[in-house]
Amino acid sequence: MLTEESTEQQVFKEPGNRSRTHFVLKMTPFHGMTTLLLLFLVLVFSNAAPKVSSNIDGYPPMWNLVPEKLNDFNIHNGKVVINPWDYLERMGMYKILLNVTAQFLDMEEPDNKRNILWGLPLQHGWQFRTGRLEDVTKQSACEDRKCISVKSWWACMNYYLAVIPFLGAFDAGFFESFPYELNIARPEELDFDFCYSSTECRLTSPHAMNGWKAFFEYIKTSNQISDKSVPLSKEENGFLPHMWSAHVESIKAALPRCSKRLSYISAPEGNFGKNWATAVEFIAATDFPTDFQSTNEFQTFLPHRMLVDGDVAPYISDFSKQENMVLLSLHSIKNVNTLTGGLLLRLWKKAMCSEQGKAAGRNLLQNIVTDPHLAPQTVIQIIMELIKNSAC
């Protein structure tokens, strides 16, 4: 219950010099953080509603043109050369990973759509479709639409979620029979922010490389039996934590190396990128499924263009209500987590440390798309898990 002592009034200015009074919580350390977690979840999800995706078939742009096997790339002097600064070639690494892991991750779904690696190419496709891989400085010699700018913050971050997983699969033995060496092409500038071989990446980003290698080794050796009667199969219950652990390590490795590129984009876009990177850790803690359908449904809430100076959520006129609310919510998550020294994320992870907690978290993320009224009920379940998991 909120008492007079637990709140204070603050007046904020909105566009047009309108004033609005907000009641702001003044919280004690323990009870306040539990309340804050509840408010955070309600803020993020209670205003969400379905939005029609402009991506009709759900596949990344130009998916039919993407290389699907290593022999489709240029082979020169006994080496297969992959240029990760070409959209189709970087996307080709994802398509190949989907193909070589299909026997382990497709869960008998048609067209390999149950494969949990779909989250990677679909996120990359959203970045391409919304212009986030382009050179916003307009100073690059690359004019091809398929060109990925080395000055793009999103492209830099994504490199660590494309090349490093691909090299991790190589280290895990997925391409043992391939007769050629692998050569990752360097960009023409800023090449010192990246690694280009398994040996080099193990030196510069050891946790990310080890995480992805461990994930690919795990799926090869897992003998768990699927139970199709539960929302997540037993395989997925084992695979997803390994995948998300590697994913988070890639982001941690990328953030300091890509940070200088934030100066090339607008402040609102840079803040959104940093907020999204923080939110991924909250999503990862739930072992959120990243198959084809789940990822597509989740991405319908992401902004359809880059943010520019003057964009202030929730007042961006050409954004839907849901896009505005996502931006506002991600900003709130990042700010609260920063102000509490990471306590919000620690509380969330604590609530997710049991299978029941993770299931409640996934339920909130998945079903809010079709039924936002489920949010309060699911939030209560998560808070109960937070209480029960006090020893985690």
Burial class of residue 78 in the structure, from the number of CB atoms within 10 Å of its CB (0-12 exposed, 13-18 middle, 19+ buried): exposed
Among 27-41, 59-73, 208-222, 289-303, the least confident range: 27-41
DSSP H/E element including 237:
helix 234-258
| pLDDT the model gives residue 55 | 58
- Pairing relation of β-strands 181-184 and 79-82? parallel
Binning pLDDT at 50, 70 and 90, where does residue 80 land?
very high
Distance in angstroms (rounded) separating the CA atoms of residues 11 and 13: 7
For 216, residues 6+ apart whose C-beta sits below 8 A from its C-beta are 101, 168, 169, 171, 172, 174
Residue of 364 and 294 predicted with greater confidence? 294
Q: Say what the pLDDT of residue 28 is.
A: 44
| Confidence grade of residue 24 (pLDDT, cut at 50, 70, 90) | very low
> For residue 221, what pLDDT band results from cuts at 50, 70 and 90?
confident
**Predicted local distance difference test score (pLDDT) of residue 138:** 78
User: What are φ and ψ of residue 323, in 5° steps?
Assistant: -60, -45
Greater confidence (371 vs 340) lies with 340
Domain ranges of the chain: 1-45+340-392, 62-320
- Report pLDDT digits (tens) over 315-350: 999 999 888 988 888 888 888 889 989 988 888 888
Phi and psi based region of residue 11 (left: phi greater than 0; alpha: psi -120 to 50; beta: remaining)? beta
Give the three-state DSSP class for 169.
helix
Q: Could you tell me the pTM of the whole model?
A: 0.84
Dmax over CA atoms of the chain, in Å, equals: 75
Q: What is the pLDDT of residue 38?
A: 53
Q: How many Cβ atoms from other residues are within 10 Å of residue 47's Cβ?
A: 18
